[in-house]
Amino acid sequence: MRKLFFISMLFLISVSVSAKTKQPLYKDKNAPTEKRINDLLKRMTLEEKVLQTNQWTYGKNANANNIEASKKAVRPEIGSLIYRSISPIYRNEIMKKAMEESRLGIPILMGFDVIHGYRTVYPIPLAQACSWNRDLVSAACAVAAKESRLSGVDWTFSPMIDVARDARWGRVSEGYGEDTYANSEFCVASVKGYQGKNLSDQTSIAACLKHYVGYSLSEGGRDYHYSDVSPQTLWETFMPPYEAGVKAGVATLMSGFNDMSGIPASANPYTLTEILKKRWKHDGFVVSDWASVEQQINQGFAKDKKQATYNAFMAGVEMDMVDNNYLETLQQLVEEKKIPMKSIDEAVRRILRIKFRLGLFDQPYVMELPEKERYYKPQYMEVAAKMAEESYVLLKNKNNTLPLSKNFKQIALIGPMVHNKVDMMGSWEAQGVTDVVETIYQGFEKEYNGSAVLNYAKGCDFEGEDESGIEEAIKVAEKSDIIIACIGEKKDWSGENASRSTIALPAIQEKLIAALKKTGKPLVLVFSSGRPIELVRLEPNADAILAIWQPGIAGGTPLAGILSGRLNPSGKLAITFPLTTGQIPTYYNMRQSARPKQGKYQDISTEPLYWFGHGLSYTSYSYGKVTLSATKITKTEKLIAEVEVTNTGAMDGKEIALWYISDPVASITRPMKELKYFEKKELKAGEKTIFRFEIDPMRDLSFPDSDGKRRLEVGDFYLTIYGQKVKFELL
């Protein structure tokens, strides 16, 4: 017996020690990752494994008084921390604790919400989508990744790819708008940007798709609320962006807060295991949203913490964010044989896999560069400014009010946004510094550089009843040639837990605009917001309207550049602007009703004010006739659609071709049209180009059933692009 024990011990030692280096195999950077994980798992106690499945939050700042106490509180074996400091030194200190004070030296995964930039804060995701520029989205995320990694952050909780059609929900600002395909494309672009070529590069961070899944359909647009998502809607609208992100190699996903049709998203075995792990073969891990494991108790899905842990863990959530549910109850559940050890091993394996891929075992520490070598590099600022420029959407331009006439020598800049920095940032400013924000006023100063006089008045605040500033605003307007009215939302009116019952701006801002209109001066409305705004009372008072969303730190110059005519606006809406809040939900790809001519609103027009895809330019584009390579194709053939587009105006510009498909009759009814491809191209004045869309029947003409299986059905289809509708047939 003793001999047998001796032999098996010898075997154990021989499998786990690297022959060349004599160090444990899991520390051998040349060994294959899965072998390293096997070796490490064999060495870990149950308690050590459970600690890997937990995430704590840590380090508000690097203040000396804070550091020691909070460092002491962190268990060196903890799986992950939400790392809130910007100091690489601080990160290295805490990492040293993990590497040297824990038995096995497993690095801690440092996560942080880097949503639209880390220090170089760029426009919110909804704005990014309006740029329709995949490369720019990738470039912006790559900037964020570099700044983050060098500051000690290895993992971002981004992108949010919850298709959002209810603008009352504050988190519309964090996603890529109302369309499933657009969310899928920008999801892939951002994952590529964050994760780079190789996760272990010191310029890459792990991405996290969130909030899996159906979170944006919360009732009444109220955050955290119940979302009733039919299986058909789940597959048609919400799952494709996640599937695209998984295919693009995303490291992690975050499970949502929402109770989805009776099963909380953080305890849903169908979405988390059946689909994500088994069907899509995702091999990274899922982190819960903040305390969403424990919140099953509020939702009536678990009677206590233990049951909540059981539900979430067994459904496929490997890491518990912040609420200590797993820490307190997972070990006991294993000891009671309610959760098998192999499930624990599988969960820990997934977490370790990402740590290995990030190279954390081999290079746990980051370079300790001074701030000036980490942030605001000229090329980072250029990306932020470019993104702002391309995300701005010109919604209205009556009689070519814009660009501003060169004869205007007195420009009135009026409104609470003119000198505002804080609200330009958006709801997730990460580690952005408000002082650095370039204001609208500063942008104009630079642009005009004394060639026009800038007359300023605040006019009113964002909200409240104080009208005392309006009189001065009128005086300023009266002595000017044109009014640029800069109004909008405060940044904390959108984002998490920031639902609004109306998407109209507070009455005081509408009053200001109505008063300015009475001066008879041409009026350009510039508004900043984290959602579509109800413009029904503002639009008639404005000669031109520009949506600038929340542009981040570098939005002033591009704005002034667009208004002056140095730059040509090119953004198009990635979300529909309802006429009034009461029209919600209104989105472009609705299904046809039983009585298309009826079912209208009695009191208002049923048309939204600005449809998805709307956006004007200072130049004009003419579209030739769309040609198809065939009028009939089989299921395995491709169909090539082409259209020649000419920039017929006097200014260089960028045109975005949005290609839609309609399937008028199917075994499951289809939306009236669906975006299937987009492309943005630069066109000099007078230049022509061909926009081309290669239709792949399985990808572009099929649709999912209520379990996600794709159906490709023969029959007629229509291809639409800017008013042209061409028929073809699938045989």
Which residue, 558, 538, 539, 540, is CA-closest to 548?
Answer: 558
**Beta carbon of residue 289, minimum distance to ligand NOJ (angstroms, whole number):** 5
**Burial level of 20, CB count in 10 A (0-12/13-18/19+)?**
exposed
Kindly state the tokens that stand for 194.
Answer: 């964050």
**Beta carbon of residue 361, minimum distance to ligand NOJ (angstroms, whole number):** 25
Should residue 56 be labelled a site residue for ligand NOJ when binding is judged by CB under 6 A? no
Q: Are 270 and 262 spatial neighbours (Cβ–Cβ below 8 Å)?
A: no
- Give CA–CA dist 340/332, Å, rounded: 11
Residue with tokens 């026009």: 452
Of 114 and 460, which has the nearer Cβ to ligand NOJ? 114
Site for ligand NOJ in 616-635 (CB under 6 A): none
Should residue 549 be labelled a site residue for ligand NOJ when binding is judged by CB under 6 A? no
Can you state the angle between helices 325-335 and 305-315, rounded to 10 degrees?
A: 80
- Give CA–CA dist 551/488, Å, rounded: 13
Residue with tokens 């993990």: 98
Establish how many alpha carbons lie within 13 A of residue 301's alpha carbon, considering only the half-sphere containing its beta carbon. Answer: 25
Could you tell me how many residues of this chain bind ligand NOJ (CB under 6 A)?
Answer: 6
Give the SS3 label for residue 440: helix
Of 289 and 447, which has the nearer Cβ to ligand NOJ? 289
DSSP symbol at 241: H
Of 114 and 730, which has the nearer Cβ to ligand NOJ? 114
Phi, psi of 456, rounded to the nearest 5 degrees? -110, 140
**Beta carbon of residue 428, minimum distance to ligand NOJ (angstroms, whole number):** 9
Kindly state the tokens that stand for 207.
Answer: 């991405």
Of 256 and 364, which has the nearer Cβ to ligand NOJ? 256
**Beta carbon of residue 255, minimum distance to ligand NOJ (angstroms, whole number):** 10
Sign of the CA dihedral running 184, 180, 257, 276: negative
Binder of ligand NOJ out of 210, 386, 396, 673 (CB under 6 A): 210
Residue with the shortest CB distance to ligand NOJ? 157
Please provide the DSSP assignment of 499-537 as one string.
--S--BPPHHHHHHHHHHHTT---EEEEEE-SS--B-TT
Residue with tokens 């002033």: 556
**Beta carbon of residue 125, minimum distance to ligand NOJ (angstroms, whole number):** 12
Q: Side chain identity at 652, as an amino acid letter? A: D
DSSP bridge partners of 610: 577
Q: How far is CA 10 from CA 2, 6, 15, 194, 586, in A?
A: 12, 6, 9, 44, 68
Of 495 and 615, which has the nearer Cβ to ligand NOJ? 495
CA 437, distance to chain mean position in Å, is 21
**Beta carbon of residue 451, minimum distance to ligand NOJ (angstroms, whole number):** 45
What is the β-pairing status of strands 523-528 and 482-488? Answer: parallel
Binder of ligand NOJ out of 83, 122, 290, 462 (CB under 6 A): 290
289 noted as active-site residue: yes
Cis omega (within 30 of 0) for bond into 213: yes
**Beta carbon of residue 310, minimum distance to ligand NOJ (angstroms, whole number):** 23
Binder of ligand NOJ out of 259, 289, 318, 320 (CB under 6 A): 289
From the candidates 289, 320, 481, 663, which is the catalytic residue?
289
Of 427 and 570, which has the nearer Cβ to ligand NOJ? 427
Q: Are 227 and 219 spatial neighbours (Cβ–Cβ below 8 Å)?
A: yes
Site for ligand NOJ in 142-161 (CB under 6 A): 157
**Beta carbon of residue 113, minimum distance to ligand NOJ (angstroms, whole number):** 5
Of 495 and 578, which has the nearer Cβ to ligand NOJ? 495
**Beta carbon of residue 528, minimum distance to ligand NOJ (angstroms, whole number):** 22
Which residue, 231, 233, 271, is CA-closest to 585?
Answer: 233
Of 116 and 210, which has the nearer Cβ to ligand NOJ? 210
Sheet of strand 724-730: strand arrangement: 632-633, 724-730, 715-721, 653-662, 674-683
Of 26 and 290, which has the nearer Cβ to ligand NOJ? 290
Should residue 496 be labelled a site residue for ligand NOJ when binding is judged by CB under 6 A? yes
DSSP bridge partners of 112: 156
Burial call 142-181: b when 16+ CB within 10 Å, e when fewer = bbbbbbbbbbbbbbbbbbbbbbbbbbbbbbbbbbbbbbbb
- Give CA–CA dist 170/503, Å, rounded: 10
**Beta carbon of residue 331, minimum distance to ligand NOJ (angstroms, whole number):** 25
Site for ligand NOJ in 467-486 (CB under 6 A): none
**Burial level of 463, CB count in 10 A (0-12/13-18/19+)?**
middle
Should residue 113 be labelled a site residue for ligand NOJ when binding is judged by CB under 6 A? yes
Residues 6+ apart with CB under 8 A from 476: 412, 414, 455, 456, 457
Of 157 and 610, which has the nearer Cβ to ligand NOJ? 157
Of 255 and 401, which has the nearer Cβ to ligand NOJ? 255
Which residue, 246, 236, 235, 230, is CA-closest to 195?
Answer: 246
Helix, strand, coil % over all residues of the chain, rounded to 5:
35, 20, 45
**Beta carbon of residue 114, minimum distance to ligand NOJ (angstroms, whole number):** 10
Of 77 and 113, which has the nearer Cβ to ligand NOJ? 113
**Beta carbon of residue 170, minimum distance to ligand NOJ (angstroms, whole number):** 11
Residue with tokens 């192999």: 342
Should residue 673 be labelled a site residue for ligand NOJ when binding is judged by CB under 6 A? no
Should residue 116 be labelled a site residue for ligand NOJ when binding is judged by CB under 6 A? no
According to DSSP H, which parts of 336-456 are helical? 341-357, 371-374, 378-391, 440-448
Of 80 and 480, which has the nearer Cβ to ligand NOJ? 80
**Beta carbon of residue 353, minimum distance to ligand NOJ (angstroms, whole number):** 21
Q: Which residues bind ligand NOJ (CB under 6 A)?
A: 113, 157, 210, 289-290, 496
Query: Catalytic amino acids?
Result: 289
